[in-house]
Amino acid sequence: MRIKEKHLIIANFKMYLSGKGQVSQWLRNFDRDSKNLELIESRLVLCPPAVSLADFASNIELDCVSFGAQDCFWQDEGAYTSGLGSKMVSSYGGKFVILGHSERRKYFGETDEAVSHKTSLAVKNRLHPILCVGENADEKRREETKEVLLNKLEKNLQFIGKGTIEEVVICYEPIWAISANNPDHLPTANELMEARVLIKKFLVGKYGQSAAERVRIIYGGSVDSKNYREVCVESGMEGALIGGASKMPYELVKIAKIAEEGK
């Protein structure tokens, strides 16, 4: 199903909310902070740890909120201990899945090959993959950002055709900017615009102008309500992947409202 909203604010809870009590508290606070939340041009997507997905989906009933997972395996089911299938995610209310996050690549040995199969199967199972691509600090220093991004896009989207690319969200997430908590560690407006244009050009080249126009390109890395406008709105990004700030529901709601206003 096509993504209708112009902006996506995606909460990546990572391995936080580590107990039932914390989940209940977060949900209570979200209920309080999201009263009267109405988004038309924007959508808030909550990606909690998989064990809490059902709690999130059954407790939050706002039209402008969707749910997702932080990874999915490249098989539907079978003898794959600890695997999480995209069909499982959708049957528990998920519509999105974060794939290829740098923490998955670093700590779980995720390869480009795996990411490409996961992306393809997620789309087949009607989930929107949020494909994360970005350079690390060394690659940035060596001015290899462009090559890194193009290489990851080429490999990770190898099984995605013209008819389904619009189901995918591309997240530019420079690894050096993740959890940096330091304004000096945010990309400049120029760097963001360059990355966005590069990704768009890649999509136009591979899928044609009209398909590329329908793909949302978002930014991730130390986004909060104070810097969202400057980092995302001004660079033309169509939303953000939010890590640390997701722990605070009022922050997420505030960011979603700024995205909606800045449409």
Q: How far apart are the first and last CA of the chain?
A: 22
Q: Do the Cβ atoms of 157 and 116 come closer than 8 Å? A: yes
CB of 51 to ligand PGA, least distance (A): 19
CB of 239 to ligand PGA, least distance (A): 12
- Per DSSP, helices labelled H in 39-170 are 53-59, 86-91, 102-107, 112-124, 137-141, 145-156
Interacting residues with ligand PGA between 6 and 65 (CB under 6 A): 12
Question: What SS3 state is found at 232?
Answer: helix
Closer residue to ligand PGA, CB minimum distance, 88 or 130: 130
Q: Which helix (H) or strand (E) holds 223?
A: none
* Interface characters, 217-256, with ligand PGA (x: CB under 6 A): ---xxxx-----------------xxxx------------
Closer residue to ligand PGA, CB minimum distance, 13 or 74: 13
Q: Do the Cβ atoms of 180 and 16 come closer than 8 Å? A: no
* Cα–Cα distances in angstroms (integers) from residue 130 to residues 48, 118, 140, in the given order: 14, 11, 22
Closer residue to ligand PGA, CB minimum distance, 215 or 218: 218
Give me the active site residues, please. 101, 173
Closer residue to ligand PGA, CB minimum distance, 186 or 215: 186
Nearest Cα to Cα of residue 253 among 34, 16, 2: 34
User: In angstroms, rounded to a whole number, what is the distance separating the alpha carbons of residues 132 and 247?
Assistant: 20
Closer residue to ligand PGA, CB minimum distance, 123 or 242: 242
User: In angstroms, rounded to a whole number, what is the distance separating the alpha carbons of residues 157 and 70?
Assistant: 18
Q: Which residues contact 239 (CB under 8 A, 6 or more apart)?
A: 7, 8, 9, 10, 42, 169, 216, 218, 219, 232, 259
- Give the number of residues in contact with ligand PGA, rule: CB under 6 A: 11
- Assigned token pair, 170: 């591309």
| Binding span for ligand PGA by CB under 6 A among 41-49, 140-148, 203-211, 216-224 | 216-224
CB of 16 to ligand PGA, least distance (A): 10
Closer residue to ligand PGA, CB minimum distance, 243 or 249: 243
Interacting residues with ligand PGA between 155 and 184 (CB under 6 A): 178-179
CB of 209 to ligand PGA, least distance (A): 29
**187 touches ligand PGA (CB under 6 A):** no
CB of 243 to ligand PGA, least distance (A): 2
Q: Which residues contact 21 (CB under 8 A, 6 or more apart)?
A: none
* Interface characters, 69-108, with ligand PGA (x: CB under 6 A): ----------------------------------------
- Per CB under 6 A, residues contacting ligand PGA are 12, 178-179, 220-223, 241-244
